[in-house]
Structure formats: structure tokens, C-alpha cells
Amino acid sequence: MKQEDYQEFMKFFSALSEIVPNPPSREGIYLYWEILSRENLTLNEIKNRATLAVKEKGFFPLLSEFFEKADPKKEAILDYELLRKLVDRYYYPDFAECSCSIIETKLKEIGRTDLIPSFYRWGAEIIDNPSYARKNFVETYIAKKDMEKKLEAPKEPKKININDLKTLGDGNENT
């Protein structure tokens, strides 16, 4: 996370603390920021993990839950369910263009601008064929995450074994 994510982080965690029993105080949420902002996690990853913890366990996520290995399939299903709920609630076929603008605005309000392209790609499928949309959304999401990991992975320099090289001459040999 970056320093510019602070306001959105505090807004999200403050809202999250309103819906769970025994939430941390504002100072506690600030400590979450202090610890999590030093980690190599994006704000969306943190939001996904926090939402998943609340959904699965019903309480405010412990710090350890942010450091566990994220399951891309669980994250994909959670993101799909979010899109499906927004489409179910705000999409009206007679007002398609307006409905899409409302859903896009709602995604921006909750800080999930990363899902806007997915909404425009899968929105119609969510309405017409939800099982097909879910299956393909999850597969695409997992493939995207795998590609991001490959692109982020540090590349090791190639190691050359001297014994594998042919003996090089001084350049004065006759060929």
C-alpha cells in the first residue's frame, strides 16, 4: 500500500468495524494501517482478505489473516458475488445505460475500481447466464493473478557454467 491509500483504508476499515462485533477502536484501526502499510500488499488485496474474514468468520479480521496465503479462487468468488449483488440490485434492462453508470459509481464508492472492467465484461452474462459468468469470471481472475505473479517475480540472472563453453581462441587462428 501507498500513503495515498490511507484515507480509503481508514474509510473502509471504519465502515467494516460498524458491522462486526467487538471491533477495534479508531486507534486500533490506525495500528492496522501502520503494520499493513509496510507489507507488500495492495489495498484491494487487504480489502478482499478483510471482507473474506468477515464473511467466513463473522468477526473483524486478525492481523494474521492478512499474512496468510490468499486463495485466488476464494477472492474471485468473492469479487464475482459482489458484482452479482450490484447487478441484481441496480440493473434495470429498461435503463441499461443509467444502470451501468450507477453500478460503476457504486464500485468507485467502495474503492473497487479494479472491478469496473470485469463488470463491463461480465455484466450481461451475470444477468443472462449467471453460472456461465461465474465459472468464466473465476477462471479469468485466477489466470490474471497467475500472470501478475509471474510478472512480479524477480528474474534470476542466467548462470553460465564455464565448463559448458567451448574454448575460445585468441582470435588469430586460421579457419
Distance (Å, rounded) from C-alpha 102 to C-alpha 56?
28
Give me the pLDDT at residue 102, please.
92
* Listed range (64-68, 81-85, 89-93, 102-106) with the worst mean pLDDT: 64-68
Q: How many CA atoms lie within 13 A of 27 on its CB side?
A: 0
Cell numbers for 162: 564455464
**C-beta neighbour count of 148 within 10 angstroms:** 11
Average pLDDT for 76-96: 86
Give me the pLDDT at residue 70, please.
66
Residue 144 above 90 pLDDT?
Answer: no
Average pLDDT for 147-164: 70
Give me the pLDDT at residue 110, please.
72
Residue 135 above 90 pLDDT?
Answer: yes
Q: CB of 96 within 8 A of CB of 69? A: no
**C-beta neighbour count of 128 within 10 angstroms:** 9
Tens digits of residue pLDDT in 9-37: 999 988 888 888 888 888 888 888 888 88
Residue 56 above 80 pLDDT?
Answer: no
Distances (CA, A) of 103 to 13, 23, 37, 76, 150: 22, 29, 29, 18, 32
